[in-house]
Homo-oligomer: A and B are copies of this chain.
Amino acid sequence: MALCVPPHHGPPAPLLPTAGHGVGAASRHLHLGLLRPLAVPQRLLLGPGPSNVPPRILAAGGRQLLGHMHPEMLQVMDEIKAGIQYAFQTRNRLTLAVSGTGHCAMEAALLNLLERGDTVLVAVNGIWGQRAADIAGRLGADVRELQKPPGEYFSLRDIQEGLARHKPSVLFITHGESSTGVLQPLQGLGELCHRHGCLLLVDAVASLGGAPILMDQQEIDVLYSGSQKVLSAPPGSAPISFSERAREKMLRRKTKPPSFYLDMGWLANYWGCDDKPRMYHHTAPINSFLSLREGLAMLAELGLESSWERHRANCTLLCQGLRELGLELFVKEEAARLPTITTVRVPEGYAWQEITAFLMNEHGLEIAGGLGPSVGKVLRIGLMGYNSTKDNVDRVLGALRDALQRCRRSRL
């Protein structure tokens, strides 16, 4: 049997000259980047995520494996659950981390809550609403959209009109719209939804730990986030929690959710959120869970209120500095600015790509352009978790000052 490795886009290169099952010397015949040592440059990640990971969390993720059913691992999962309950400010028993990134949690929320034909109202003022509407459509739901231009948020009146008109069973809304830098006010929303017999589903991927969110008090039915923003753990696991109302809707399903991997009935059991003995469901991403545990522990040690205050203070400093550089903040109303990700308009006479490339190449520092409806309009600067420091505010402002001098009169 002749083995081969295909190079990327070229003719097939024979890998092993021998046939049969004899011991070959593959490496002598491989000419691939794969066989060079792994190179990972050091970068300051001040985009919309992932954030840099503190040494303590990196160390946790680099620990030797445990089995996914070992008692110590189940204990770590219990601790993650307690950490999420704290971060979300909830007593929901059905609280756990899904084995994927933030997007995976969005899908887990939608595919467990919705059945074919259910009406879902999606508040769209940026990319996350667009994505949720896309996913809900794939699930066969009757998707209605409530639109706002990028940079704006939804008032209680907007929502009330939408609920009255569309009579949805679920409302999807984004707390921290990372594509536009908008913080959606949540106060009163849960109560309003419940008066209309509707469940409230909130995306807090970019906001959790950076701005107040009180799941129980605000009557949020499903809340999810990611590991790689304020929690400063690598991407790969995503906290999620369901209220009793949401759990009841899931129990009333007539059909199984279209995923086994994300089936909340199975996950609830594996995470010890029901009264049955915990059973094997899937091989969990052990190291991602170890990292997430440390991220949640660090948030609990710091305290939620301190974390909110730190993000608010550093965001205020950043906004002040950006204005001093002559830049215009994209979100006008101060209270509507997401404290974790700040958006400024791309200044006239500049190409956004040249600014982000300059920062990356000359300063080893990432900031991002827009995403979805904000592409070409904004630059996005993230100060999240471990990266939310006064030093980083100074560093990104200094780099931007440099870029504004050096990238002027773009050719684009």
Contact = CB atoms under 8 A, between A and B. Distances in A.
Contacts of A63: 38, 40, 58
Interface string A57-100: 01111111111101010011011111101100111000000011
Interface string A245-261: 00000000001111111
Given A79-B33, A111-B258, A23 B306 contact: yes
A25 B302 CA distance: 7
Most buried by B among A64, A290, A301: A64
Given A61-B61, A138-B259, 20 more contacts: A21-B305, A22-B305, A24-B306, A26-B303, A26-B304, A26-B306, A34-B83, A35-B301, A38-B60, A43-B67, A50-B65, A58-B62, A58-B63, A70-B366, A100-B104, A101-B284, A107-B261, A226-B283, A235-B286, A258-B259
A388 interface: no
Interface stretch (A6-14, A144-152, A318-326): A6-14
17 contacts: A12-B91, A26-B301, A26-B303, A34-B80, A38-B290, A40-B66, A41-B72, A45-B66, A47-B67, A50-B67, A61-B61, A138-B255, A234-B286, A234-B287, A285-B285, A287-B287, A287-B291
Contact of A212 (B1, B66, B80, B288): B1
Contact of A8 (B8, B82, B107): B82
Given A67-B366, A138-B258, A104 B111 contact: no
Given A33-B79, A34-B82, A285-B234, A300 B27 contact: yes
A139 to B, nearest CB: 6
The size class of the interface chain A forms with chain B is: 35 or more
Contact of A30 (B260, B261, B300): B300
A374 interface: no
Interface string A299-336: 01111111011001000000000000000000000000
Given A43-B66, A50-B68, A235-B284, A261 B303 contact: no
A214 interface: yes
A3 B213 CA distance: 10
B290 A40 contact: yes
Given A40-B64, A296-B34, A371-B280, A288 B285 contact: yes
